[in-house]
Chain A
Amino acid sequence: MFDWSPVWTFAGVIVVGLFGTGGIVAWRRLQHDKKIGVQTTEIAEDDAEAKRWQSIIETQTKVLLEPMQRRLGELETTVAELQASLDRRNRQYWAAISYIRTLLMWIHRFMPDELEQTAPQPPVTINEDV
Protein backbone atom coordinates (compact mmCIF):
# COMPACT_ATOMS: atom_id res chain seq x y z
CA MET A 1 0.00 0.00 0.00
CA PHE A 2 2.79 2.44 0.91
CA ASP A 3 5.13 3.48 -1.85
CA TRP A 4 7.92 5.45 -0.20
CA SER A 5 10.51 7.43 -2.12
CA PRO A 6 13.20 9.39 -0.18
CA VAL A 7 11.49 12.71 -1.01
CA TRP A 8 8.15 11.56 0.40
CA THR A 9 9.87 10.04 3.39
CA PHE A 10 11.60 13.36 4.11
CA ALA A 11 8.38 15.35 3.61
CA GLY A 12 6.53 12.84 5.77
CA VAL A 13 9.05 13.09 8.60
CA ILE A 14 8.90 16.91 8.49
CA VAL A 15 5.10 17.13 8.52
CA VAL A 16 4.61 14.33 11.05
CA GLY A 17 7.27 16.00 13.21
CA LEU A 18 5.49 19.34 12.90
CA PHE A 19 2.12 17.96 13.94
CA GLY A 20 3.72 15.75 16.57
CA THR A 21 5.45 18.81 18.02
CA GLY A 22 2.07 20.52 18.11
CA GLY A 23 0.77 17.56 20.11
CA ILE A 24 3.73 17.61 22.51
CA VAL A 25 3.42 21.36 23.04
CA ALA A 26 -0.31 20.91 23.71
CA TRP A 27 0.48 18.09 26.16
CA ARG A 28 2.96 20.29 28.05
CA ARG A 29 0.45 23.14 28.23
CA LEU A 30 -2.16 20.71 29.50
CA GLN A 31 0.19 19.54 32.27
CA HIS A 32 0.89 23.18 33.17
CA ASP A 33 -2.85 23.98 33.22
CA LYS A 34 -3.51 21.00 35.48
CA LYS A 35 -0.72 22.08 37.79
CA ILE A 36 -2.06 25.62 38.24
CA GLY A 37 -5.63 24.30 38.61
CA VAL A 38 -7.31 25.64 35.45
CA GLN A 39 -10.90 24.36 35.18
CA THR A 40 -11.70 21.86 32.42
CA THR A 41 -15.16 23.25 31.73
CA GLU A 42 -16.83 26.62 31.90
CA ILE A 43 -19.51 27.12 34.57
CA ALA A 44 -22.08 27.99 31.88
CA GLU A 45 -21.37 24.65 30.20
CA ASP A 46 -21.96 22.61 33.32
CA ASP A 47 -25.75 22.29 33.35
CA ALA A 48 -25.92 21.27 37.03
CA GLU A 49 -23.74 24.22 38.05
CA ALA A 50 -25.75 26.60 35.84
CA LYS A 51 -29.01 25.38 37.43
CA ARG A 52 -27.55 25.82 40.91
CA TRP A 53 -26.57 29.43 40.15
CA GLN A 54 -29.97 30.08 38.61
CA SER A 55 -31.67 28.79 41.76
CA ILE A 56 -29.41 30.96 43.97
CA ILE A 57 -30.25 34.04 41.88
CA GLU A 58 -33.98 33.25 42.00
CA THR A 59 -33.87 32.82 45.78
CA GLN A 60 -31.96 36.06 46.24
CA THR A 61 -34.48 37.85 44.02
CA LYS A 62 -37.39 36.49 46.06
CA VAL A 63 -35.84 37.03 49.48
CA LEU A 64 -34.12 40.37 48.98
CA LEU A 65 -35.20 42.15 45.85
CA GLU A 66 -38.98 41.64 45.96
CA PRO A 67 -39.49 42.85 49.60
CA MET A 68 -37.18 45.78 48.84
CA GLN A 69 -39.26 46.70 45.78
CA ARG A 70 -42.47 46.45 47.83
CA ARG A 71 -41.04 48.65 50.59
CA LEU A 72 -39.79 51.14 48.02
CA GLY A 73 -43.31 51.33 46.51
CA GLU A 74 -44.83 51.96 49.95
CA LEU A 75 -42.29 54.69 50.69
CA GLU A 76 -42.96 56.37 47.34
CA THR A 77 -46.69 56.46 48.15
CA THR A 78 -46.03 57.90 51.63
CA VAL A 79 -43.70 60.58 50.24
CA ALA A 80 -46.28 61.60 47.62
CA GLU A 81 -48.99 61.87 50.32
CA LEU A 82 -46.72 63.92 52.58
CA GLN A 83 -45.82 66.23 49.69
CA ALA A 84 -49.48 66.83 48.91
CA SER A 85 -50.23 67.46 52.60
CA LEU A 86 -47.32 69.91 52.89
CA ASP A 87 -48.50 71.85 49.82
CA ARG A 88 -52.01 72.11 51.30
CA ARG A 89 -50.66 73.24 54.65
CA ASN A 90 -48.46 75.88 52.97
CA ARG A 91 -51.45 77.29 51.12
CA GLN A 92 -53.50 77.38 54.35
CA TYR A 93 -50.63 79.02 56.27
CA TRP A 94 -50.18 81.88 53.80
CA ALA A 95 -53.91 82.38 53.58
CA ALA A 96 -54.01 82.60 57.39
CA ILE A 97 -51.08 85.06 57.49
CA SER A 98 -52.78 87.21 54.87
CA TYR A 99 -56.01 87.16 56.88
CA ILE A 100 -54.16 88.12 60.11
CA ARG A 101 -52.57 91.12 58.32
CA THR A 102 -55.96 92.23 57.05
CA LEU A 103 -57.45 91.85 60.53
CA LEU A 104 -54.62 93.85 62.18
CA MET A 105 -55.07 96.67 59.64
CA TRP A 106 -58.83 96.59 60.23
CA ILE A 107 -58.35 96.73 64.00
CA HIS A 108 -55.93 99.71 63.73
CA ARG A 109 -58.36 101.58 61.55
CA PHE A 110 -61.54 101.05 63.55
CA MET A 111 -60.36 100.72 67.16
CA PRO A 112 -61.57 103.60 69.41
CA ASP A 113 -58.74 105.88 70.66
CA GLU A 114 -59.63 105.50 74.36
CA LEU A 115 -58.88 101.74 74.27
CA GLU A 116 -55.41 100.33 74.60
CA GLN A 117 -53.59 100.81 71.25
CA THR A 118 -51.08 97.96 71.44
CA ALA A 119 -52.23 94.75 69.74
CA PRO A 120 -51.02 91.46 71.20
CA GLN A 121 -47.66 90.41 69.70
CA PRO A 122 -47.83 87.46 67.26
CA PRO A 123 -45.86 84.33 68.20
CA VAL A 124 -42.15 84.48 67.38
CA THR A 125 -42.43 81.69 64.76
CA ILE A 126 -44.79 83.71 62.56
CA ASN A 127 -43.74 87.21 63.61
CA GLU A 128 -41.72 87.94 60.45
CA ASP A 129 -44.41 86.64 58.11
CA VAL A 130 -47.06 88.76 59.74
Chain B
Amino acid sequence: MYSWLPPRQRLIVRAALATAWWLVTLGGIASIVVNDPSNILGDVFGAAVVATSGVAGAGAAWNRFRWEWIAAWFAAASLTPFVLMSVAASYRNIQALPGTILLAALAASFCARALLCAAHAAKLREQHEATRGDAGDV
Protein backbone atom coordinates (compact mmCIF):
# COMPACT_ATOMS: atom_id res chain seq x y z
CA MET B 1 0.00 0.00 0.00
CA TYR B 2 2.97 2.27 0.64
CA SER B 3 5.27 0.90 -2.06
CA TRP B 4 5.76 4.40 -3.45
CA LEU B 5 7.51 5.43 -0.20
CA PRO B 6 11.12 4.75 0.85
CA PRO B 7 11.29 1.92 3.47
CA ARG B 8 12.05 4.24 6.40
CA GLN B 9 9.24 6.68 5.61
CA ARG B 10 6.93 3.70 5.08
CA LEU B 11 7.57 2.65 8.68
CA ILE B 12 7.02 6.18 9.98
CA VAL B 13 3.70 6.55 8.15
CA ARG B 14 2.48 3.18 9.38
CA ALA B 15 3.51 3.98 12.95
CA ALA B 16 1.68 7.33 12.79
CA LEU B 17 -1.46 5.67 11.42
CA ALA B 18 -1.38 2.91 14.04
CA THR B 19 -0.96 5.53 16.77
CA ALA B 20 -3.95 7.48 15.46
CA TRP B 21 -6.11 4.35 15.38
CA TRP B 22 -5.05 3.25 18.84
CA LEU B 23 -5.81 6.72 20.22
CA VAL B 24 -9.35 6.11 18.98
CA THR B 25 -9.23 2.77 20.83
CA LEU B 26 -8.27 4.65 23.99
CA GLY B 27 -11.20 7.01 23.39
CA GLY B 28 -13.51 3.99 23.13
CA ILE B 29 -12.16 2.57 26.39
CA ALA B 30 -12.64 5.96 28.08
CA SER B 31 -16.25 6.12 26.83
CA ILE B 32 -16.95 2.70 28.40
CA VAL B 33 -15.29 3.69 31.67
CA VAL B 34 -17.15 7.00 32.08
CA ASN B 35 -20.45 5.67 30.69
CA ASP B 36 -23.45 5.28 32.95
CA PRO B 37 -23.55 1.49 33.69
CA SER B 38 -27.29 1.42 33.00
CA ASN B 39 -26.68 2.61 29.42
CA ILE B 40 -26.08 -0.66 27.61
CA LEU B 41 -26.03 0.94 24.13
CA GLY B 42 -23.25 3.27 25.20
CA ASP B 43 -21.17 0.29 26.28
CA VAL B 44 -21.96 -1.62 23.08
CA PHE B 45 -20.90 1.22 20.79
CA GLY B 46 -17.89 1.98 23.00
CA ALA B 47 -16.81 -1.68 22.74
CA ALA B 48 -17.41 -1.60 18.97
CA VAL B 49 -15.15 1.45 18.68
CA VAL B 50 -12.47 -0.29 20.77
CA ALA B 51 -12.60 -3.49 18.71
CA THR B 52 -12.75 -1.94 15.25
CA SER B 53 -10.14 0.76 15.82
CA GLY B 54 -7.89 -1.79 17.54
CA VAL B 55 -8.05 -4.07 14.50
CA ALA B 56 -7.55 -1.13 12.11
CA GLY B 57 -4.52 0.01 14.13
CA ALA B 58 -3.09 -3.51 13.98
CA GLY B 59 -3.71 -3.51 10.23
CA ALA B 60 -1.78 -0.26 9.85
CA ALA B 61 1.03 -1.44 12.14
CA TRP B 62 1.53 -4.86 10.52
CA ASN B 63 0.84 -3.73 6.98
CA ARG B 64 -2.39 -5.70 6.66
CA PHE B 65 -4.45 -3.28 4.66
CA ARG B 66 -7.42 -5.67 4.48
CA TRP B 67 -7.83 -5.55 8.27
CA GLU B 68 -7.85 -1.78 8.15
CA TRP B 69 -10.19 -1.74 5.14
CA ILE B 70 -12.98 -3.69 6.87
CA ALA B 71 -12.37 -2.30 10.35
CA ALA B 72 -12.39 1.32 9.16
CA TRP B 73 -15.97 0.98 7.84
CA PHE B 74 -17.18 -0.59 11.08
CA ALA B 75 -15.22 1.97 13.12
CA ALA B 76 -17.05 4.74 11.23
CA ALA B 77 -20.35 2.95 11.91
CA SER B 78 -19.62 2.55 15.62
CA LEU B 79 -18.45 6.17 15.93
CA THR B 80 -21.67 7.46 14.35
CA PRO B 81 -23.80 7.27 17.57
CA PHE B 82 -21.17 9.38 19.32
CA VAL B 83 -21.30 11.92 16.49
CA LEU B 84 -25.10 12.07 16.62
CA MET B 85 -25.08 12.30 20.39
CA SER B 86 -22.68 15.20 20.07
CA VAL B 87 -24.94 16.84 17.45
CA ALA B 88 -27.85 16.52 19.83
CA ALA B 89 -25.74 18.02 22.60
CA SER B 90 -24.81 20.92 20.30
CA TYR B 91 -28.52 21.81 19.95
CA ARG B 92 -28.73 22.23 23.70
CA ASN B 93 -25.32 23.80 24.15
CA ILE B 94 -23.52 25.57 21.30
CA GLN B 95 -20.20 25.07 23.14
CA ALA B 96 -20.33 21.43 22.04
CA LEU B 97 -20.39 22.35 18.32
CA PRO B 98 -16.58 22.39 17.67
CA GLY B 99 -16.26 18.98 19.31
CA THR B 100 -19.16 17.72 17.19
CA ILE B 101 -17.56 18.90 13.96
CA LEU B 102 -14.21 17.41 14.94
CA LEU B 103 -15.89 14.11 15.76
CA ALA B 104 -17.69 14.15 12.40
CA ALA B 105 -14.35 14.87 10.72
CA LEU B 106 -12.90 11.83 12.50
CA ALA B 107 -15.73 9.65 11.18
CA ALA B 108 -15.16 11.09 7.69
CA SER B 109 -11.44 10.32 7.96
CA PHE B 110 -12.31 6.69 8.83
CA CYS B 111 -14.36 6.53 5.62
CA ALA B 112 -11.48 8.09 3.70
CA ARG B 113 -9.10 5.42 5.03
CA ALA B 114 -11.58 2.68 4.14
CA LEU B 115 -11.94 4.08 0.61
CA LEU B 116 -8.17 4.34 0.23
CA CYS B 117 -7.81 0.70 1.27
CA ALA B 118 -10.60 -0.23 -1.18
CA ALA B 119 -8.75 1.62 -3.95
CA HIS B 120 -5.57 -0.28 -3.08
CA ALA B 121 -7.50 -3.56 -3.18
CA ALA B 122 -8.84 -2.60 -6.61
CA LYS B 123 -5.28 -1.88 -7.78
CA LEU B 124 -4.03 -5.27 -6.58
CA ARG B 125 -7.04 -6.90 -8.25
CA GLU B 126 -6.18 -5.19 -11.56
CA GLN B 127 -2.54 -6.29 -11.25
CA HIS B 128 -3.71 -9.81 -10.56
CA GLU B 129 -5.96 -9.77 -13.64
CA ALA B 130 -3.14 -8.37 -15.77
CA THR B 131 -0.69 -11.04 -14.57
CA ARG B 132 -3.23 -13.76 -15.22
CA GLY B 133 -3.85 -12.28 -18.69
CA ASP B 134 -0.12 -12.38 -19.47
CA ALA B 135 0.14 -15.96 -18.28
CA GLY B 136 -2.80 -16.85 -20.52
CA ASP B 137 -1.10 -15.29 -23.56
CA VAL B 138 2.02 -17.40 -23.00
Binding site for B on A (CB under 8 A): 1-5, 8, 11-12, 15-20, 22-23, 26-27, 29-30, 33, 36-42, 44-45, 47
Least distance between A42 CB and chain B CB atoms (Å): 4
Q: Which residues of A contact B41 (CB under 8 A)?
A: 2, 4
| 5 additional A-B residue pairs with CB within 8 Å, beyond A1-B42, A2-B39 | A5-B88, A16-B81, A33-B125, A42-B124, A44-B3
How extensive is the interface on chain B, given as a class?
Answer: 35 or more
Q: Measured between alpha carbons, how far is A84 from B29 in the docked complex, in Å?
A: 86
A3-B85, A3-B89, A45-B63 given as contacts; is B128 within 8 A of A36 (CB)?
yes
A3-B85, A30-B121, A40-B65 given as contacts; is B3 within 8 A of A45 (CB)?
yes
Q: List 12 A-B contacts (CB under 8 A).
A: A8-B85, A15-B77, A17-B77, A20-B77, A22-B111, A23-B74, A26-B118, A29-B118, A36-B128, A41-B63, A42-B124, A45-B63
Which chain A residue shows the least CB distance to B7?
A: A47
Where chain A touches its partner, the secondary structure class is: helix
B102 in the interface (beta carbon within 8 A) = no
B73 in the interface (beta carbon within 8 A) = yes
Q: Which residues of A contact B89 (CB under 8 A)?
A: 3
Most chain B CB neighbours (cut-off 10 Å) among A2, A29, A40, A47: A2
Top 4 A-B pairs ranked by shortest CB distance? A23-B73, A19-B77, A44-B3, A22-B73
Binding site for A on B (CB under 8 A): 1-3, 7, 10, 31, 34-36, 39, 41-42, 63-66, 69-70, 73-74, 76-78, 80-81, 83-85, 87-89, 111, 114, 117-118, 121, 124-125, 127-128
A2-B81, A15-B80, A47-B7 given as contacts; is B70 within 8 A of A30 (CB)?
yes
Least distance between B83 CB and chain A CB atoms (Å): 8
Least distance between B30 CB and chain A CB atoms (Å): 11
Task: Report which of B36, B63, B74 forms a contact with A1, defined as CB distance below 8 A.
Answer: B36
Q: Which residues of B contact A5 (CB under 8 A)?
A: 88
Least distance between B10 CB and chain A CB atoms (Å): 8
Which chain A residue shows the least CB distance to B126?
A: A38
